[in-house]
A and B are shown apart, each in its own frame.
Chain A
Amino acid sequence: MTRGPKAVTERAIGFGGLALALIAPLVFNAYWVDVILTQALIVGIAAASMIFLAAYGGMISLSQTMLMGAAGFMIGNMVTKGGAGGETKGLTLGWDPTLALVLALAGTTLLGVLLGAVAARSTGIYFLMITLTYSVVGFYFVGQVTVVSGFSGIANINSYTPPFVGDIVENRNRLYYIALGVAIAVYAFIRFVIRTPFGLSLQGLRDEPVRMSSLGYAVPLHRTLAFGLAAFMAALAGILLVWWQGQIAPGDIGLQATIDLLIVAVIGGLTRVEGAWVGALAFIVINNYIRDSWLTDLLDTVRIGGSFQTIIGLIFLVIVIVSPDGLMGAWDRLWGLRSGTDSGEGPSVTAIPAGEKLV
């Protein structure tokens, strides 16, 4: 089977991007590597878990931020140490970081399976509402139960890392490469899963749940397992997040953070996994540079007023109107316009036929 020009181009961009990512610390300054790129990789992993559920399971989950935070709070409570000169918030159990890492990943995945078991029986707007509820419950739980966190959160988590991770406080490039490795692994994992019998049946029940059910497929079970897998990916993002920012607080999983992740996924495109990192990079770059004073000056000069959130909202609005399936959708459409065909890999824009099946 020969690849079409679109697939070839995408492959070239993919490998070009990967090559650039591998040498990023040589090309970009420390701030860009540590703050923009590392953050984009981490947020991208969380967004990928959301897109995985949306694109291949037809489920838009608003719980991914909460699950990400669950892993962060778990590892934060387990690894930090109290006592004189130690941390003052959380359980400060002082456990072995490797053990804590495994437990946080396993615990979050289990939490995802349990939550998924309840949510998987609903669809559409009800699924969205249930997962939003999980998110809100998670936020208030960590905010109110001060034994495990409280509003201030847990600090200095990145001082306690497993030996194979090493010192990521001083050596920030190490964390960048870890995040890059995990992002590549998550991408490859999703590509692998969707080709397995499980992945194919997941896509089947995304498009025709009734028919799949009548064929004998356990629809809720498939959805639950998919939710669990996505929780595992979100957990990876959560661990990386606390290593990156050193601490975690309820604000990291609040409604604003949940909406931000949704915006990342929508900007990137809810139909293709690659969109997760494209959306994350776009969102973080916009969010970062739009706060600079030149923009405030410009807003004052043209008398628009408002804040950077206004700008992000406008950009979001434009993207959604121009290309409802995000930047990746715009890219697909561009090729469709030029060649009249679509020879790309992965689910195309039209792979999810109706909006109501997505939501």
Chain B
Amino acid sequence: MRGISRHWKLVLPLGVLVVLATVVVSTSFAASKAKTVRVAIMTDCKGGFGFGYEPDIGGAQAAFANYANGKVKNKKKPSAGMTGIRVGNTDVQIVGYGCGDDTVPTAVKETRRLMEQLKADVMVGPLSGDEAVYVANYAKKHPNKTFIIGTAGSQDPTLQIAPKNMFRYHGDGAQWNAGIGEIAYKKLGWRKAAIIMDDYSFGWTSGAGIIADFCAIGGKITKRVFPPLNTTDYSSYVQQLPAPGTVDGTFWVVGGTGTSAALTAYEQANGALKPSQHIGNLFFAFLGADKVVAPKVAGSYLGGFGTAPGLKTGQAKIYEKVVARWYPGLNGGNYADGFVYNYYNAAWALIQGLTVSNGQTGAALHAKMPKTLRSGYEVSDKGSVKLDANRQAIQDQYPLQLVKNADGSVAPVVIGYVPNVNQSFGGLFTKNSPAPGRTQPKCVKKKLPWQGKIKVVKNGIIYPTVIK
């Protein structure tokens, strides 16, 4: 009996190991079916931008529903999934949604899960700046996979790193701030300003756009302050900013859940915020900021997200109608939010690429990805965004102002139109220039392609006059 007992004690654990190995091997051979393109949507479900999860997925899937026959499972919850996507004769399957938290370590794990475990051919995403830097490096080492950035705005992925299998159909964080420095200089009379910006890739890139634009026309940045992303108590960082009166104003590049906390800390230190002394980037009005942040700084100007809320063009209306048709009320009905818009355009570009490549992925798809895209808010070049040699969008940009509505709510309104903003800012940013950082770019006066050419926009209509 004892011998049998010992025998079983040896066999049982080994048996468990064999069963485990068999299960793993069998799942590993469950390879993708022929002619099915596997797509992963990488976004954040945690961290400072976790609330972008459903808007991102909804934006991408609205394009699949409208242009590729996708069947929406739940109109109120995009992450419930989508079936039946078909491009030409090719089935497209969404194999998974990435759940990042704006940090690199999670992006590493999620990217590998999506691209290697779930065997995605194409990634639509990621959402955040540092994630995109990692994904760009990953893309370099996986040339047969395709990466279409969702709405991440760091500069490096398409300039310093620039893998050939990575595409971005929207501007980077710097492009989204084109024109805002000139508006500060001309409309508010700022000459000296401070800037507070999140201490990571997107914060640096977004801040770089403001610094480059403001300094180019003759402004001076006298102080740069860098709170870490996801800081909760900004009081020590606000204390580092020059007091009101010693500079003409402060540029704010503090994002995610931190914007409101940072502004509150400033109010506590320096009294009520004067709109004419504060300019923000997209975080003043988007990503849910319209409810919490915007009322604090009603009247202020801000950079944008490559979108134009309220723009009265046919193309813009079509875009908004498409999203509203498949996911009504997505992102609180704010479809002119880069979270929705940029993911939508990424997926739409993929559909066009797959159509021309006949469902082929890898190099064939890379060669056939569209060089232009008739994005909703594009006006120049007959309403098309263009990709540059690094597969980075040259897009129209719309500086905004926060305006109080009759019902007391505050919303961003387009006040300017900056056509054809490219990533280089007139040669300031190049492949060999240092990526934006705490000390980059330097504050230099120079001629920018759009300087003095920002057109006035009123009530959603672009006028031929320029902002003075």
Contacts and interface: CB of A to CB of B under 8 A. Distances in A.
Contact of A155 (B27, B97, B137): B137
A88 B109 CA distance: 22
Interface string A55-77: 00000000000000000000000
Given A5-B9, A12-B10, A252-B105, A146 B199 contact: yes
Size bin of chain B's contact surface: 35 or more
Contacts of B134: 155, 247
Contacts of B438: 146, 150
Nearest to A244: B108
A206 B129 CA distance: 47
A5 B3 CA distance: 10
Given A32-B24, A146-B199, A155-B134, A307 B45 contact: yes
B116 A245 contact: no
A146 B99 CA distance: 27
Interface stretch (A13-21, A186-194, A317-325): A13-21
A35 interface: yes
B105 A29 contact: no
Contacts of B29: 29
A252 B103 CA distance: 9
A9 B9 contact: yes
A151 B13 contact: no
Contacts of B45: 307
A251 B103 contact: yes
Contact of A28 (B28, B160, B434): B28
Given A169-B141, A247-B137, A151 B437 contact: no
Interface string A79-111: 000001100100000000000000000000000
A246 to B, nearest CB: 7
Interface stretch (A177-185, A271-279, A286-294): A286-294
A146 B117 contact: no
Interface residues of A, number: 48
Contacts of A296: 79
B6 interface: yes
Interface string A232-261: 000000000000011101111010010000
B104 A247 contact: yes
Contacts of B241: none
B17 interface: yes
B117 A12 contact: no
A169 B141 CA distance: 8
Contacts of B117: 31, 35, 288
B106 interface: yes
B142 to A, nearest CB: 10
Interface in B191-223: 199-201
Interface in A93-143: 140, 143
A287 B10 CA distance: 29
A32 B23 CA distance: 12
B228 A151 contact: yes
Nearest to A307: B45
A348 interface: no
B28 A293 contact: no
A246 B137 contact: yes
A156 interface: yes
B406 to A, nearest CB: 38
Given A16-B13, A35-B117, A146-B438, A249 B104 contact: yes
A343 interface: no
Of the listed residues B106, B117, B432, the one surrounded by the most CB atoms of chain A closer than 10 A to its CB is: B117
Nearest to B29: A29
B130 A29 contact: no
B13 A13 contact: yes
B133 A155 contact: yes
Contact of A153 (B46, B104, B106): B104
Contacts of B13: 9, 12-13, 16
A152 B21 contact: no
B28 A257 contact: no
Interface string A1-28: 0000100110011001100100000011
Contact of B130 (A28, A151, A291): A151
Contact of A30 (B105, B116, B156, B228): B116
A251 B106 contact: yes
Contacts of A257: 105
Nearest to B80: A300
Contact of A249 (B6, B79, B105): B105
B432 A288 contact: no
B96 interface: yes
B382 to A, nearest CB: 36
Given A28-B21, A32-B28, A249-B130, A152 B108 contact: no
A207 interface: no
B234 to A, nearest CB: 15
A144 interface: yes
A103 to B, nearest CB: 24
Of the listed residues A9, A257, A300, the one surrounded by the most CB atoms of chain B closer than 10 A to its CB is: A9
Nearest to A27: B21
Interface string B429-456: 0011011011000000000000000000
Contact of A16 (B14, B129, B141, B200): B14
Contacts of B138: 246
B224 to A, nearest CB: 12
A242 to B, nearest CB: 11
Interface string B112-150: 110011000000000001100110011001000000000
Interface string A288-310: 10011100100010000001100
B388 to A, nearest CB: 18
A8 B21 contact: no
Nearest to B133: A152
A84 B159 CA distance: 12
Given A155-B134, A245-B105, A247-B134, A288 B24 contact: no
A173 B228 CA distance: 37
A173 to B, nearest CB: 14
A8 B13 CA distance: 12
Contact of B113 (A29, A153, A288): A288
A44 B464 CA distance: 65
A151 B432 contact: no
A143 B199 contact: yes
25 contacts: A8-B10, A9-B6, A9-B13, A16-B13, A17-B17, A30-B116, A31-B116, A35-B116, A146-B438, A150-B437, A151-B199, A151-B229, A152-B104, A152-B129, A153-B130, A155-B133, A156-B137, A246-B108, A247-B108, A251-B106, A288-B109, A291-B99, A293-B81, A293-B97, A296-B79
5 tightest CB-CB pairs across the interface, nearest first?
Answer: A29-B28, A251-B103, A249-B104, A151-B200, A251-B105
Given A9-B13, A143-B199, 19 more contacts: A9-B10, A12-B14, A13-B14, A16-B13, A28-B25, A29-B24, A32-B24, A84-B432, A88-B156, A146-B226, A146-B438, A151-B200, A152-B200, A153-B130, A155-B137, A250-B103, A254-B103, A288-B117, A300-B80
